[in-house]
Amino acid sequence: MSAQPAEKFETVTAAGRGWERINRIAPTMAATMGRYLEQVATFLAPRSVEVADISLRQFAGWLLESTEARNVAAISRADLEDYKRWLAAQPGTTGKPLAANTRRQRLHTLRMFFDRLIEWDWTDAPARNPVIGGDIPASPDPLPKFLDDTAAAKFMATAREVDDPRDRVVCELLARTGLRASELCDLAADAVVLIGENHWLRVPLGKLRNDRYVPLHPDLTSALARWTADNIDRIRRHRRLIADHRGPLDRHAVGRIVARVGRRAGIDVHPHQLRHTLATQAINRGMRLEAIAALLGHRSMHMTLTYARIADRVVADQYAAISSRIDALYNQPPELPADYETTGMARLRRDAHARMLGNGLCTRPAQLDCRMETICETCSYFQTTIEFRPTLIRQRDHAREHGQTDRAALYDKLVTRVDKDAS
């Protein structure tokens, strides 16, 4: 197959900058890379094509400086090994060596480049892929960084107080919907739709090439209605929901808005962190993983399960269950007073949490919350019958005496159920 002319390459690359010298010195290599970028643009997202452009441009520039290769077919394994060492020593934006994630991305892009050229049987393709799996740094599996409830509340309170309405609506959208920054920028002018009695946000094709509908909180619906009314002409002109006299947003502007509001709130935060925060808030409050996956637009449950690792309730409950036993290993038992036999039970009842069990009292201090309140009674495997009715009545009355309305309501239901079963 013959490569396209180098002149064509100048007009199709995402950035054009830096390719002139490559075109001049190694036109065959430039033409092959340009043709490749044209091909992947037919099935990759624009951001992925941009990343490929940057990676290939950097690699080609290094080849011209450090090797004799002037076409892709001449690139050897030895060239790639030298490039790996050079790449590892390059400074990043902070002045430190490039992060492993950046190096992984660059090398993975090159490996796919060579794989496709070989598979497509292009003339300017190497005999074998010079990038092997072992060249690519292992991918870490860190937990997402998110704001705790206090920081999230502080961020949102600060966002609502800023003067710029664009900043307010951007922060509200990110925090309430879990949108990626690029998805927010691409929201169409008519993205808010009414389905039944509720408003939804149509999220466009994004990182994973899938679109979805996200339910809108009533406060956010009102905020978007005000925003649209104030900027309707600009929204129609730019065909973007978030557009004002400054024009539509890009993801860099979104990052600056969030960082600016975060600084005012005294919090270091970026847009994707708000996405992680919403997911963590949802899973901590019992939202099902399938629903979170649909909300965030995850293509596989594997992506959503990352958040389950943050809030593993089984681990938390099991840890709470054994904590008191572990404490007994570390703490000396208190000396019993002389009048313990007559006052011990009274003290136990006074100091313990007001939680009556079937065979005693919970001795957890009243100041500590417990995630296991009536855990057995709310379990799907729990069963009770009419002979336990007197105990259920006592537990309900005990809950009422201590102002535990939820527990009282639960035992009311159980009493009603056993009465119905017995009739």
Residue 251 designated active-site: no
Single out the catalytic residue among 298, 355, 396, 407. Answer: 298
Tens digit of pLDDT for each residue in 298-335? 877 877 877 777 766 556 666 666 666 666 666 655 55
Q: How many residues does the chain have?
A: 423
Reduced to 3 states (helix: H, G, I; strand: E, B; else coil), residue 266 is coil
DSSP 127-196: SS-S--GGGSPPPP-PPPP---HHHHHHHHHHHHH-S-HHHHHHHHHHHHH---HHHHHT-BTT-EEEET
> For residues 245 and 260, is the Cβ–Cβ distance under 8 A?
no
Please indicate whether residue 275 is annotated as part of the active site: yes
DSSP 248: E
Cβ-proximal residues to 154 (8 Å cutoff; 6+ apart), any chain: 265, 266, 267
| Model confidence at 89: pLDDT above 70 | yes
Among candidate residues 57, 240, 275, 396, the one labeled active-site is 275
Tell me the three-class secondary structure of 360-409, residue by residue.
EECCCECCCCCCCCCCCCCCCCCCCCHHHHHHHHHHHHHHHHCCCHHHHH
DSSP state of 336: P
Average pLDDT for 80-105: 87
272 is catalytic: yes
Structure tokens at 86: 């050079």
The phi-psi region of residue 300 (left if phi > 0; otherwise alpha if psi is between -120 and 50; otherwise beta) is beta
Which of the following is catalytic: 168, 199, 212, 307? 307
pLDDT digits (tens, 9 = 90+) for 177-218: 999 999 999 999 999 999 988 999 999 875 556 678 999 999
Which of 226, 224, 225, 204 has the alpha carbon at shortest distance from 214? 204
pLDDT of residue 26 exceeding 70: yes
Rounded Cα–Cα distance for residues 201 and 174 (Å): 12
Q: What is the mean pLDDT of residues 341-346?
A: 49
Please indicate whether residue 223 or residue 316 has the higher confidence score (pLDDT): 223
Lowest mean pLDDT among 138-152, 285-299, 311-325, 338-352: 338-352
* CB atoms near residue 353 (< 10 Å): 16
Written as six digits, the tokens of 19 are 């390719």
Average pLDDT for 385-399: 82
Tens digit of pLDDT for each residue in 244-274?
899 999 999 999 999 999 999 999 999 999 9
Greater model confidence, 121 or 337: 121
Whether 72 shows a pLDDT value over 80: the answer reads yes
Hey, is 415 helix, strand or coil? Answer: helix
Give SS3 for 357: strand
| Residue 383: exposure state from Cβ atoms within 10 A (0-12, 13-18, ≥19) | exposed
Return the closest-CA partner of residue 198 out of 178, 213, 176, 211: 213
| Mean pLDDT within 335-351 | 50
Tell me the Ramachandran region of residue 13: left when phi exceeds 0, alpha when psi lies from -120 to 50, beta otherwise.
beta
Catalytic residue among 180, 240, 276, 396: 180
Neighbours of 260 (CB within 10 A): 14
Tokens, residue 136: 């690519």
Of residues 21, 207, 347, 371, which has the active-site annotation?
Answer: 207
Which carries the bigger pLDDT value, residue 366 or residue 8? 366
User: What span, in angstroms and rounded, lies between the C-alpha atoms of 122 and 29?
Assistant: 12
Band (pLDDT 50/70/90 cuts) for residue 4 is very low
